[in-house]
Each structure stands twice: as C-alpha cells, then as structure tokens.
C-alpha cells in the first residue's frame, strides 16, 4: 500500500499478508508532495518484485518484495487513528495498466 500524507509531506509503502502489516519503506519526507488540500498526482509501478513510487512526476523510492508477486490495485482513502483528523479524497483520471 502506498500511503501519502499531504499535511506533513510524507509517504511510506506497506504490505499486508494475512492481516499482518509491515513496512517496505518507512515514513519519509518529500518536497514533491503538495501540502494540505492541494492536488497530488500519484504513480506506482509494480514490476515483478519491484515497486517504484512517484508523486507529481518526482521519483520517491524503489523497493523490492518477493512475497508480493500478485495482488490487488486501486485507489482508496483512509483516516488515521487521530480522532481530530478528517480524511477525504477525489480520484480523477485513475488508470491501471496490465502488461501484455
């Protein structure tokens, strides 16, 4: 899962295997992430075990994980555990490509 927090300009990549979550990339800061309610363009490329993340056309990171050679893809929004935090998102022009 590719997480982006626009309020502190951070991101991370996690995985969930049978309900057990672990980090592939811990929270990291990036100037590429637009702050607050500004628009952010997200891009993830998954090739075999390699996962590469971009925000607003800026390269963030590449991680490899051989336990995730198949799975689900799609956008979502989530609310963190802070009761004062409200989450909302608008997804526009979402495209998922499957290689031939």
pLDDT at position 60, please? 97
Percent of the chain with pLDDT over 70: 85
Please state, in angstroms and rounded to a whole number, the distance separating the CA atoms of residues 25 and 29.
11
C-alpha 68: how far from its chain's center?
Answer: 15
Please state, in angstroms and rounded to a whole number, the distance separating the CA atoms of residues 28 and 16.
19
18 falls within a domain: yes
Looking at the structure of the chain, the number of domains it has is: 1
pLDDT at position 55, please? 96
pLDDT at position 1, please? 87
pLDDT at position 35, please? 93
12 falls within a domain: yes
97 falls within a domain: no
Compute the radius of gyration of the chain from its Cα atoms. Answer: 14
Enumerate residues 6+ apart whose C-beta is below 8 A from 45.
51, 52, 54
Domain hosting residue 79, numbered range: 1-92
How confident is residue 98, by pLDDT bands cut at 50, 70 and 90? confident
């Amino acid at each position: 899962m590719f997480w982006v927090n626009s309020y502190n300009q951070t991101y991370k990549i996690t995985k969930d295997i049978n309900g057990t979550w672990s980090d592939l990339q811990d929270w990291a800061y990036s100037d590429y992430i637009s702050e607050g309610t500004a628009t952010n363009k997200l891009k993830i490329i998954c090739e075999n075990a390699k996962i590469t993340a971009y925000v607003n056309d800026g390269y963030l990171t590449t991680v490899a994980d051989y336990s995730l050679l198949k799975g689900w893809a799609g956008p979502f929004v989530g609310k963190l555990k802070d009761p004062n935090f409200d989450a909302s998102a608008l997804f526009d022009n979402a495209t998922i490509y499957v290689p031939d």
